[in-house]
């Protein structure tokens, strides 16, 4: 897929890219929508197969952020930053990474407040501290730097709320004794695993990092499965908390679970995968609803001036949003993905 083709088929408002020869990094910022306010979305820093793949990821993720902000009732549009690294993050020298952040801050300043970023895969609050200090428009700074700290706990909180709303829709009341499969044991995934383990769930976990897996095994008594086996391992609840494009039409036709609710952005490779899940009676909590806790945390604290308690209360509201989604899907006989997109689109039209 060429960059021309990616941009030509995208329905967003602005995309800009830059290559820095000194660091070997390729930068893309995609602004999908400014209808509700300045665009916002995290900075993802990782290796990509090619620059076209990085641009494709940025544009898809920016579109998901538009839906996430709209359905959460937040006054922001959707955007995303992607930095295609020349080598794995842990291999880069401190000097390389500092230059990459400096270039990214320049890019953010050039957009003059029409786009705000935050932590994502490959970045953290300390990186937002650097971007903010350099005049970049960055959410999610550390508490030591005057920010609200990591959004991971509230993202995990929101996923936990989504799991409970979804299991009720699937017909069971609690997680005691249920098999909950968590894919990805980063800050969000591990937190979700710990929450469900505390409720008596049998946690099944997987991650490409064996150290994370061992921690889950020893601390949560988790059953560990290999990453290659995750989509064929039976569970009651599948919680994808790694990267996206996990469920395509073929996977949706065979995934051995009753509920899918996780933190991964762009979980579905195509929207038709949601139809395949629906035909099998699998309850899907659309990702841009289930993982909205992080956005609620950052925008709530840094734009709307909410307290931590107010943020937590709004994250609990994900349950009500999902009830609307499930009710609409049931009444219209459409997938929950289509129902959630319809609800988000209605808000966007109202605010044009």
CA-closest candidate to residue 259, choices 230, 237, 227, 226: 237
Give the β-pairing of 202-206 and 223-224. Answer: parallel
DSSP letter string, 231-297: GGS--SEEEE-S-S--B-HHHHHH---SEE--S-TT-BSSTHHHHHHHHTT-EE--HHHHTTHHHHH
Point out the residues that are catalytic: 80
Answer yes or no: do 54 and 195 share one domain. no
Which of 127, 144, 161 lies at the terminal end of a domain, its last residue?
A: 144
Instruction: Calculate helix-pair angle for 272-279, 336-350, nearest 10 degrees.
Output: 130
Residue 351: its pLDDT value, please?
53
pTM of the complete model: 0.92
Residue 308 domain-assigned (yes or no): no
* Pairwise CA distance, residues 277 & 22, whole Å: 46
Instruction: Calculate helix-pair angle for 293-302, 152-170, nearest 10 degrees.
Output: 140
Mean pLDDT confidence for 183-208: 97
* Pairwise CA distance, residues 104 & 29, whole Å: 9
Contact 234, 178 (CB under 8 A): no
Mean pLDDT confidence for 29-51: 96
The label of the residue with tokens 């979980």 reads 267
Which of 104, 121, 144 lies at the terminal end of a domain, its last residue?
A: 144
Mean pLDDT confidence for 269-286: 96
Residue 228, phi then psi, degrees to nearest 5: -70, -15
Going by the DSSP 8-state scheme, the letter that residue 209 receives in this structure is: -
Contact 208, 230 (CB under 8 A): no
Contact 41, 79 (CB under 8 A): yes
Q: 277: pLDDT confidence band, cut at 50, 70 and 90? A: very high
Residue 305 domain-assigned (yes or no): no
CA-closest candidate to residue 42, choices 6, 78, 7: 78
Residue 275 domain-assigned (yes or no): yes
Q: How many domains does the chain have?
A: 2
Answer yes or no: do 177 and 285 share one domain. yes
Mean pLDDT confidence for 110-134: 95
Residue 202 domain-assigned (yes or no): yes
Q: 349: pLDDT confidence band, cut at 50, 70 and 90? A: confident
For residue 69 the two structure tokens come to: 């902000």
For residue 348 the two structure tokens come to: 């966007």
* Pairwise CA distance, residues 338 & 315, whole Å: 22
Residue 69 domain-assigned (yes or no): no
Q: Is 325 helix (H, G, I), strand (E, B) or coil?
A: helix
Residue 70 domain-assigned (yes or no): no
- What is the longest distance spanned by two Cα atoms in the chain? 56
Asked if pLDDT for residue 1 goes beyond 90, the answer is: no
Answer yes or no: do 196 and 341 share one domain. yes
Answer yes or no: do 136 and 176 share one domain. no
Residue 350: its pLDDT value, please?
65
Q: Is 27 helix (H, G, I), strand (E, B) or coil?
A: strand
The label of the residue with tokens 């300043």 reads 109
Asked if pLDDT for residue 258 goes beyond 70, the answer is: yes
Which of 94, 123, 144 lies at the terminal end of a domain, its last residue?
A: 144
Answer yes or no: do 265 and 325 share one domain. yes
Cα-to-chain-centroid distance, residue 135: 25
Query: Which domain covers residue 270, as residue numbers?
Result: 152-291+319-349
The pLDDT tens digits of the residues spanning 308-342 come to 999 999 999 999 999 999 999 999 999 999 999 99
Measured in residues, the chain has a length of 352
Residue 35: its pLDDT value, please?
93
Answer yes or no: do 83 and 200 share one domain. no
Q: 147: pLDDT confidence band, cut at 50, 70 and 90? A: very high
Answer yes or no: do 47 and 80 share one domain. yes
Q: Residue 116's domain is classified under what CATH number? A: 3.40.50.10860
* Pairwise CA distance, residues 69 & 74, whole Å: 5
Answer yes or no: do 39 and 137 share one domain. yes
Contact 55, 3 (CB under 8 A): yes
Answer yes or no: do 201 and 116 share one domain. no
Asked if pLDDT for residue 352 goes beyond 70, the answer is: no
Answer yes or no: do 166 and 136 share one domain. no
Contact 290, 260 (CB under 8 A): no
């Amino acid at each position: 897929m060429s960059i021309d083709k990616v941009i030509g088929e995208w329905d967003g408002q602005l995309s800009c890219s830059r290559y820095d020869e000194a660091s070997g990094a390729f930068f893309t910022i995609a602004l999908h929508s400014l209808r509700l306010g300045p665009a916002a979305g995290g900075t993802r820093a990782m290796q990509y197969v090619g620059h076209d793949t990085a641009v494709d990821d940025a544009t898809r993720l920016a579109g998901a952020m538009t839906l996430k902000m709209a359905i959460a009732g937040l006054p922001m549009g959707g955007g995303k930053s992607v930095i295609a690294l020349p080598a794995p993050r842990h291999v880069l020298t401190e000097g390389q990474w500092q230059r990459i952040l400096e270039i990214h801050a320049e890019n953010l300043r050039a957009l003059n407040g029409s786009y705000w970023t935050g932590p994502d895969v490959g970045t953290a609050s300390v990186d937002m501290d650097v971007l903010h200090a350099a005049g970049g428009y960055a959410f999610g700074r550390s508490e030591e730097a005057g920010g609200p700290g990591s959004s991971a706990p509230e993202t995990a909180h929101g996923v936990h709320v989504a799991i409970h709303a979804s299991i009720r829709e699937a017909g069971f009341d609690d997680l005691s004794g249920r098999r909950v499969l968590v894919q990805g044991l980063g800050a969000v995934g591990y937190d979700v695993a710990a929450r469900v383990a505390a409720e008596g769930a049998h946690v099944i976990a997987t991650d490409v990092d064996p150290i994370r897996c061992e921690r889950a095994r020893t601390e949560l008594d988790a059953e560990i499965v290999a990453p290659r086996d995750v989509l064929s391992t039976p569970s009651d609840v599948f919680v994808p908390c790694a990267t996206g494009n996990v469920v395509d039409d073929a996977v949706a036709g065979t995934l051995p679970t009753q509920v899918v609710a996780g933190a991964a952005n762009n979980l579905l490779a195509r929207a038709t995968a949601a139809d395949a899940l629906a035909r099998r009676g699998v309850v899907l909590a659309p990702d841009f609803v289930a993982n909205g806790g992080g956005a609620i945390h950052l925008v709530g604290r840094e734009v709307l001036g909410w307290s931590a308690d107010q943020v937590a209360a709004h994250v609990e509201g994900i349950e009500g949003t999902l009830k609307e989604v499930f009710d609409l899907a049931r009444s219209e006989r459409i997938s929950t993905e289509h129902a959630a997109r319809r609800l988000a689109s209605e808000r966007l039209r109202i605010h044009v």
